[in-house]
Amino acid sequence: MPVTKFSTPEKYKYQNGFGSYHESEAVVCALPIGANSPQKPPYGLYAEKLSGTAFTAPRHENQQTWLYRILPAAAHSAFNPRESSSYNTNPEGNKLHQIPNQLRWDPFDLDETVDWVHGLKLVAGAGDPTLKAGLGIFIFAAGKSMSKNEAFYSADGDFLIVLQHGVLDIQTELGNILVRPNEICVIPRGVRYRVELPEGPVRGYICELYQGHFQLPELGPIGSNCLANARDFQAPVASFDEAPSREYTILSKFNGHLFAASQTHTPFDVVAWHGLYYPYKYDLGRYSVIGSVSFDHPDPSIYTVLTAPTDHIGTAVADFVIFPPRWLVGEDTFRPPWYHRNTMSEFMGLIGGEYDAKTGGGFQPAGASLHNIMSAHGPDASTHQKASNAELKPAKVGEGSMAFMFESCLMVGVTEWGLKTCKKVQEDYNEESWTPLKAHFKIPEGVERVSNLVGDANRHPGIDNGKSVNGKGATREINQETLPHYT
């Protein structure tokens, strides 16, 4: 059944559809009819526009939402720096360490002493939020709910939240979202929210997109369905607080620094809204996997859930890719991902279970790995040995597992926290994974070598219909069964 069986029941209603124009009202007739900004909106509400793209962005890219709220978001004090020295701590400022080494991290610790805002740690990234270019990759670990008098937003980019442990009960301006393990949530730039932890400590990963917004990948020859289907994405319905006047704190992540402002009214006072710019969630268990039914392992791009493309077609600032439970049936095929060097950077995490391309426990849930641009990687030695000798009958891999990847065309640097402070980097990752690989190359007796030298007798070698042709025109039969195969 293409849906995750959650131990925590759903508690909220949603609207379904990715990229759909939604509208919702928590009070009947709170949405104005036929106008976005009437002189007097219904019930004495204020009309406010939330713009996720430039006003003049092409219609198919334009993302705006009209909010009808009790008081405008602008009604707050000036923002001032707050605890910036302890937020995404990096002693070397914004410096990122650009290194070619393959990196892998042990599971990141849970931290029961902090809330959502202070549990965010920048591990890696590329680009600059001030230029709206690039991405940031975070680990979050928190043990306390945010204060009921607080709200948080990031001006730097969209948060794609991948929960690994615990439950997130997120109150946003546009309504409530419950996020459980194997669900993801996207909160767009600027949307204010607070995070409650109804089942204790939480942990997971975040890809913050500094430029553009996530969208569904094109399906091309696949057709009109499969991968992540638009109908399975869920957006909140309007819900608002009628809290008495008291002081609230608005926390802003602005160029990687934390600022705070105060106001005397709840930030969660949106009675109705309509538009295309809103938070949403998705159950990874509903992903419809595509794969080969004959031979060869396809590129991992067939597992893309969401993408944030660059201006160059087929290239992404960030792809969100998953490796869910799936059937493998390829004949005469090495079934795990092959060894490769990629022009894209690959940051991987594990939500649960065991990733089928790694064995031995080195890649664990709540851990991570980074294979940067052109850093060679692939199955470890034991996985290669096992897969090369496996009986090639239909097999389901990844049962009870969910691995994912943030992939980017950018060279991803690692922060001081990610490289040293967290103390989770596995120093022997390369040596354990690929140094044990053994050479199995062997030329059987009687198989001719081909020369690359001009004038050599074998200067025009070739194979034609199972016969080896040498430079003198002589031929001999080749017995394919005598050629070396891996054993």
Q: 411 - beta bridge partners?
A: none
User: Measuring CA to CA, which residue among 426, 158, 108 is closest to residue 307?
Assistant: 158
Angle of CA points 104, 441, 453, to nearest 5°:
115
Question: Is 297 part of the annotated catalytic residue set?
Answer: yes
Neighbours of 86 (CB within 10 A): 10
Residue 208: which of 233, 228, 190 has the closest Cα?
Answer: 190
Which amino acid makes up residue 25?
E
Residues 6+ apart with CB under 8 A from 60: none
Name the catalytic one among 60, 297, 384, 485: 297
Feature table: binding site for homogentisate: 346, 355, 377
Contact (CB, 8 A) for 318 and 209: yes
CA-to-CA separations, 188 to 53, 163, 235, in angstroms, rounded: 11, 17, 12
Q: Which residues define the annotated binding site for Fe cation?
A: 340, 377
Q: Which residues are annotated as a binding site?
A: 340, 346, 355, 377
Strand partners, 104: 369
CA-CA-CA-CA dihedral for 250, 14, 289, 212, to nearest 10: -40
Quickly tell me which residue has 């991992």 as its tokens: 300
**CB neighbour burial string for 151-172, b if at least 16 within 10 angstroms, e if fewer:** bbbbebbbbbbbbbbbbbbbbb
Length of the chain counted residue by residue? 487
Q: How many Å from the N-terminal Cα to the C-terminal Cα in the chain? A: 38
Q: Is residue 36 classed as helix, strand or coil in its secondary structure?
A: coil
List of residues 6+ apart from 181 with CB closer than 8 A: 163, 164, 165, 166, 167, 351, 352
**418 φ/ψ angles, rounded to the nearest 5 degrees:** -70, -30
Number of DSSP helices (H) and strands (E) in the chain, helices first: 3, 31
Tell me which residues are annotated as active site: 297
